[in-house]
């Protein structure tokens, strides 16, 4: 079980959160990006054996969306980034 | 294989899949709750007064249970007798590309092996290896929980899949119940299970099979597997000439005898086998996803 440091509620159990997917690149402008860039944006996500940035949603808590940097091998949470 | 169903949207979806599978001549049928209980006498939970009553089931009559180790070792022995060299305990550190960009071999912990053609079929670590050749592939690695009970007398002779509660199991030849749960949230290479996922799985199982409450669990593990955006595997040559990938086998080893045969055809003839032609990298370029009826994630 991860102990996730919600920016608002501080440390809470992983079971209160919903995983929101890996943080990819920013959405390219579909009007100026090529098909290849657009498909890469849709299909490619980082899959490192090490730190990965991902969104979590404190659904059964304060409702906040934020990002954490988590090591995919050790599951250590290295950093929490407050969202909007 | 029996799907135990607890809600009507799921039943409708499985009925739709039944019709799809009918087109291809596979047998998949809806059965009543009474028939489910007759096929699985140990299933005593899930009655009318339970939290999630069973409303029916689906049975795949063509499906069977094989022992995966026996299949793997059968292939290994046959390959060995045909002169194939297998190097166990020899980790591959990286892929080697020549000056022209084509694949030239692999760098292992025991030295370099040169080859004109290399297939990467390493399950969850596919991207770890292909990154060393400068490739980015549409794969994410997830961790799947599994555990095994102490051996008991023959009790269940089908695979029981209960996706509404989130668990599935079958009984092995040795009598152990082999139980699996839902994948962990987020990408993971940890090869271990999380306590709350384990508890959810056990809780779901005991709701349907209260008699299993006294069973001791012998061992647990997390298997990491890579998943593609459409949850179907990739069998194709990559953009690096001579480097092939067989990956995204989310959902187990069941299709691998066909996967191995068709992959060998591709490597030997440099053209895709008709059965696997759709499982290419190009389908992502055109966003032309494969919508398989039976993948684990689609369930």
Model confidence pLDDT, tens digit, residues B231-248: 889 999 999 999 999 999
In this prediction, residues B3-22 reach a mean pLDDT of 91
pLDDT at B17: 86
A49 pLDDT more than 60: yes
Of B186, B196, B287, the CB nearest to A54: B186
8 Å CB contact between A39 and A33: no
B10/B119 Cα distance (integer angstroms): 38
Number of separate domains in chain B: 1
From chain A, pick out residues whose CB is under 8 angstroms from the CB of B186.
Answer: 19, 22, 52, 54, 70, 72
Cα radius of gyration (chain B): 21
Mean pLDDT of B33-39: 97
- The CATH number assigned to the domain holding A61 equals 3.30.2270.10
The whole domain housing B158 covers: 2-62+141-227
Tell me, what's the pLDDT at B299? Answer: 45
Cα B232 to its chain centre, rounded Å, is 10
Compute the half-sphere exposure of residue B24: CA atoms within 13 Å on the CB side of its CA: 10
Looking at residue B198, which CATH number applies to its domain? 3.30.9.10
* ipTM score of complex: 0.89
Q: CB–CB of B272/B266 below 8 Å?
A: yes
DSSP readout, B207-275?
A: HH-GGGGGPPEEEEEEEEEEE-TTSS-EEEE-SSTTEEEEE--TT-STTHHHHHHHHHHHHHHSS--TT
Task: Give the mean pLDDT of B193-216.
Answer: 93
Please report the pLDDT score of residue A83 as a whole number.
65
B101: left (phi over 0), alpha (psi -120 to 50) or beta: left
Q: Which of B67-71, B93-97, B253-257 has the lowest mean pLDDT?
A: B253-257
- What is the arithmetic mean of pLDDT over B58-64? 87
Over range A55-79, report the average pLDDT.
95
pLDDT at site B251: 64
User: Residue B254 above 90 pLDDT?
Assistant: no
A47/B194 touch (CB, cutoff 8 Å), yes or no: no
pLDDT band of residue B20 (cuts 50, 70, 90) is confident
Whether residue B72 lies inside any domain: the answer is no
Over residues B139-149, the mean pLDDT reads 92
Interface residue A47 vs chain B (CB under 8 A): yes
Q: With an 8 Å Cβ cutoff, are B187 and A1 in contact?
A: no
Read off the pLDDT of residues B71-95 as tens digits, 9 standing for 90 and up.
889 999 999 999 999 999 999 999 9
Residue of A nearest to B198 (CA): A1
What is chain A's Cα-based Rg?
Answer: 15
A34 interfacial to chain B (CB closer than 8 Å): no
pLDDT at B291: 75
Cα separation, A24 vs A20, in Å, equals 12
Q: Per-residue confidence at A50, pLDDT binned at 50, 70, 90?
A: very high
Q: Quick one: average pLDDT of B100-124?
A: 94
Structure letter (DSSP) for residue A75: -
Say which residues have a Cβ less than 8 Å from residue B230's Cβ, sequence separation at least 6.
B283, B289, B290, B291
Q: List, for residues B37-55, the tens digit of each pLDDT value.
A: 999 999 999 999 998 899 9
A57 contact partners, CB below 8 Å, separation of at least 6: A17, A18, A19, A20, A63, A64, A65
Highest mean pLDDT among B101-115, B176-190, B271-285: B101-115
B296, pLDDT greater than 70: no
Chain B residues with a Cβ under 8 Å from any Cβ in chain A: 125, 127-128, 136-141, 185-190, 194-196, 226, 229, 284-285, 287
Question: Nearest 5 degrees, angle CA B231-CA B236-CA B239?
Answer: 115
Helix (H) or strand (E) holding B11: helix B8-23
The reported pLDDT for the residue numbered B138 is: 93
Number of domains within chain A: 1
Q: What is the pTM of this model?
A: 0.87
Report CB contact under 8 Å: B187, A52: yes
Task: Report the gap between the CA of A43 and the closest CA in chain B (Å).
Answer: 6
Chain B residues whose beta carbon lies within 8 Å of the beta carbon of residue A72: 141, 186-190
The boundaries of the domain holding residue A56 are 3-82
| pLDDT beyond 50 at B293 | yes
What's the mean pLDDT when you consider all of chain B?
91
């Amino acid at each position: 079980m991860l102990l996730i440091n919600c920016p608002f509620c501080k440390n809470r159990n992983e079971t209160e959160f919903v995983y929101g997917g890996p943080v990819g690149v920013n959405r390219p402008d579909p009007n100026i990006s090529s098909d290849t860039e657009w498909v890469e944006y849709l299909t490619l996500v980082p899959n490192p054996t090490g730190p990965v940035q991902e969104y979590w949603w404190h659904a059964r808590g304060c409702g906040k969306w934020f990002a954490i940097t988590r090591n995919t091998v050790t599951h250590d949470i290295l950093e929490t980034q407050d969202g909007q | 294989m029996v799907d135990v169903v607890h809600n009507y949207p799921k039943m409708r979806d499985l009925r739709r899949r039944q019709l799809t599978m009918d087109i291809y001549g596979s047998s998949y049928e809806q059965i009543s709750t009474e028939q489910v209980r007759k096929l699985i006498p140990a299933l005593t939970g899930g009655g009318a007064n339970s939290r999630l009553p069973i409303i029916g089931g689906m049975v795949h009559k063509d499906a069977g249970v094989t022992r995966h180790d026996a299949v793997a070792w059968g292939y290994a022995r046959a390959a060995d007798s045909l002169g194939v060299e297998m190097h166990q305990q020899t980790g591959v550190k990286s892929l080697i590309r020549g000056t022209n960009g084509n694949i030239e071999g692999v760098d292992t912990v025991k030295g370099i092996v040169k080859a004109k053609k290399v297939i990467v079929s390493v399950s969850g670590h596919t991207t770890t290896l292909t990154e060393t050749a400068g490739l980015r592939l549409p794969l994410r690695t997830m961790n799947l929980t599994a555990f095994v009970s102490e051996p008991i007398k023959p009790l269940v002779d089908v695979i029981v899949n209960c996706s509404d509660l989130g668990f599935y199991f079958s009984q092995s030849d040795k009598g152990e119940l082999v139980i699996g749960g839902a994948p962990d949230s987020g990408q993971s290479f940890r090869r271990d299970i999380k306590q709350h996922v384990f508890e959810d799985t056990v809780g779901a199982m005991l709701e349907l099979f209260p008699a299993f409450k006294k069973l001791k669990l012998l061992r647990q593990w997390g298997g990491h597997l890579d998943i593609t955006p459409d949850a179907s595997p990739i069998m194709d040559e990559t953009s690096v000439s001579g480097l092939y990938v067989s990956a995204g086998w989310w959902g187990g080893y069941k299709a691998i005898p066909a996967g191995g045969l068709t992959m060998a055809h591709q490597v030997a003839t440099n053209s895709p086998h008709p059965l696997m032609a759709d499982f290419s990298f190009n389908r992502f370029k055109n966003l032309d996803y494969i919508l398989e009826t039976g993948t684990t994630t689609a369930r």
